[in-house]
Amino acid sequence: QVQLEESGGGLVPPGGSLRLSCKVSGRAFAPYNVAWFRQYPGKEREFVAATRRYGSSTHYTDSVKGRFTISRDSAKSTVYLQMNSLKTEDTAVYLCAADQGVILSSIRNPTAYDYWGQGTQVTVSS
């Protein structure tokens, strides 16, 4: 069984930065695809960014390209989401998800992931 634990959310003014962390435990980290999604109240989960197994590639939704960076630290079994130039529309609950068997064409689909964290709130407001 894989457990995911997010941290690093909080309140930040527009233009500010936050770094989210997703600690993966329970199984070997390297073979897992790990993604960040966000969820607005009453909405479906929306893909933000992903790092594929063994760190082979990274992927982003268009609205965060150039502002967010996803990275993975194998020694710490942790995936990070560095968020810069934050906007009010980035306000959401951010969740990390993991799965070994996600194919490239499904990387943005939340149903492709079996394991989820509880989420961390990010609020961008002045």
pLDDT above 90 for 21 = yes
Taking alpha carbons only, the member of 77, 97, 92, 72 closest to residue 29 is 77
Both tokens assigned to 80 = 């990070």
Residue reference for tokens 């967010």: 68
Quote the pLDDT of residue 55.
83
Query: Picking from 8-17, 35-44, 100-109, which range would have the lowest pLDDT averaged per residue?
Result: 100-109
What are the pLDDT digits (tens) for 28-84? 888 999 999 999 999 999 999 999 998 889 999 999 999 999 999 999 999 999 999
* pLDDT(27) > 90: no
Separation CA 112–CA 92 (nearest Å) = 21
Instruction: Please return the burial class of 75, using the count of CB atoms within 10 Å of its CB with bins 0-12, 13-18 and 19+.
Output: exposed
Q: Could you give the CA distance from residue 64 to residue 25 in angstroms, rounded to a whole number?
A: 27
Rounded CA separation 99/2 (Å): 9
User: Which SS3 state, helix, strand or coil, does residue 30 take?
Assistant: coil
